[in-house]
Structures are given as structure tokens and as C-alpha cells.
Amino acid sequence: MSLLTCQELFLGYDSNIIVKNLNFSVNSGDYLCIVGENGSGKSTLMKTLLGLQNPIRGTVSTGDGLKKNEIGYLPQQTIVQRDFPASVKEIVLSGCQGHCGLRPFYRKEEKAMAEENMKKMGILEFSNRCYRELSGGQQQRVLLARALCATRKLLLLDEPVSGLDPMVTASMYELIYGLNKEGITIIMISHDLMAAVKYATHILHIGDHVFYGTKEEYQKSEHGKMFLAQESGGQEKADSKRSKGGKHHHE
């Protein structure tokens, strides 16, 4: 049985349908990348999977004993968080909140879990530092550690590398890949098609034309080929522009 199944899903706001008839399922251990242009409904889909928004039609069902409070989530950063006075430890620990119910304080095991996740993300040394003083990459690690406190099964990531520089982006991808290898199922929204093809096991491309399948199928499909060519073409263009610019600079 699969962890998460979407059947005949219609998404959108009010009567404005953005995504039509979406069918896919995620199995334990999968690494699913959701790609598509801006406004194609990626974030709406993510919100629906998290149960923050109701679909217009269709169902999202969980299986394999996955409960609603066992989904970890790495949201995009909000403005509020940029000047929030909170230590790394406090934030990571707040990931355990979903398990608390009405219990007012954290248990010892939860504190231990927070510590273990901080260690895993390499942020234990910052645990008493203030969140707003950390770099973008470090902040993402804090939020990832918090998400890990909420789940041992399924992580939903909303553009985890936006705004990070290339080095940090690469190490973030490796970190997520490592978590997937440990058996945590990953669903990630990404703009970065190349990285998606590199790490993911499955691709969901939404837009005018919907594709769902393994990454190998995607690379072979007409649709996938076209987008991948566009993407790598775009990258080459950008690279050549950059080197031209560089030359200019030298002259």
C-alpha cells in the first residue's frame, strides 16, 4: 500500500481550476520532485497534501499507517521569521509540538530527538544561537531539523534551495538525498529541473500537460525531453553570457 495517494484531484481557488484530474501515488522511500512553471499549482498541491486547503474535487488519502501529524514540512521562509528572536533549540523543539496534543511541556524523549536532529543537520554547535543571525543555508538546516522532529516518514519540502548560493544549494541537496537514503520519503517542489532529474526517483510535472512517472520515463518522454533541453539550453546560455560578461570586464 502506498503512503500517499491522490485520486482525480482538481485544485484551485473558488471556481478557478488550476490543476485538472491529477492521479498519482507515493510509495515509502520514494523521492518525488514536483516541477512546473510559476502559477501551475505546485504550492496549491503542497497545501492540499498537507491538509491546509481542500481540493475542489477528488481525494488525498494516506496509507501505511501514516497519520496527519506525521508529515514533516519545510515551508518557504516568511517575513515574520527574519527578525524573530528565537534560539535554534527552541525552533527545532517546536517541531515536536504536533505530538504533544494538550500536554503543555516537552518530554525528555522529545528533547533528545531535537538534539539528535540538530546533530544530524550539523547545527548542534549553534543550538543556543539566535535564528535571525544565521546564514540562509544554516536557517534552512534549522527548519529541516524541525521538520524531522515532526516526522520519521514523510517530508514535504517547498523550494528548499531558493535564495541559497550554489555551494550551499549542493550541500542542501546532498543532505536531503541522505535523508531519503535513510528511508524518509521526500516530496519536493523544485524549480531546478536538473537537480530534480539527478536526485529524484519520480517526477510530477504539472502545467498544461501533466506528467507523472519515474525519472527514467520522464527523461525518455517527449515532454520531459523538451523541458530538459530547454533547461540545459537556458543554463548554457546563461553560462556563456556570464563568461562574455567576464571577458568584458577584463578588457
Partner 1 sequence: MNEIFEKLGLYFQHSFVLNALIVGVLIALCSSLLGVTLVLKRFSFIGDGLSHVAFGALAIASVLHFSNKMMLVLPITVLCAILLLRTGQNTKIKGDAAIAMISVGALAFGYLIMNLFPTSSNISGDVCSTLFGSTSILTLSSFEVALCIILSIVVVILFLLFYHKIFAVTFDETFANATGTNANRYNLLIAVIIAVIIVLAMNLVGSLLISALVIFPALSAMRILKSFRSVTIFSAVFSVFCAFLGILISILAETPVGSTIVAIDVVAFAVCALIGSFGTAAK
Binding site for partner 1 (CB under 8 A): 50-52, 67-69, 71-73, 75, 78, 80-81, 83-87, 89-91, 93-95, 97-100, 104-106, 128-130, 133, 146-147, 150-151, 156
CB of 220 vs partner 1, minimal distance in Å: 35
- Among candidates 8, 80, 14, which has minimal Cα distance to 53? 14
User: With contact defined as beta carbons under 8 Å apart, do 126 and 104 qualify?
Assistant: no
**Cβ closest to partner 1, residue 147 vs residue 179:** 147
Q: Which CB sits closer to partner 1, 57 or 111? A: 111
Minimum distance of partner 1 from residue 106's CB (angstroms): 7
Three cell numbers at 114? Answer: 531535537
Whole-angstrom distance, CA of residue 122 vs CA of residue 182: 16
Q: Which is nearer to partner 1, 105 or 247 (CB)?
A: 105
* Cα–Cα dist 101/131, whole Å: 26
Q: Number of helices (H) and strands (E), helices first, in the chain?
A: 10, 9
> What minimum distance in Å lies between the beta carbon of 53 and partner 1?
10
CB of 86 to partner 1, least distance (A): 4
**Beta carbon of residue 179, minimum distance to partner 1 (angstroms, whole number):** 17
Query: HSE on the CB side for 24, CA within 13 Å?
Result: 21
Which residue, 22 or 150, is less far from partner 1 as judged by CB?
150
- Pick 69 or 219: Cβ nearer partner 1: 69
Matching residue, cell 556570464: 242
SS3 readout for 172-229: HHHHHHHHHHCCCEEEEECCCHHHHHHHCCEEEECCCCCEEEEHHHHHHCHHHHHHHH
- Minimum separation from the CB atom of position 132 to partner 1 (A): 8
3-state secondary structure of 4: strand
Name the minimum Å distance from CB 70 to partner 1. 8
Taking the least distance from each CB to partner 1, the nearer of 24 and 106 is 106
Written as nine digits, the cell of 21 is 484530474
Residue (73 or 173) nearer to partner 1, CB: 73
Nearest to 116 by CA among 149, 140, 68: 149
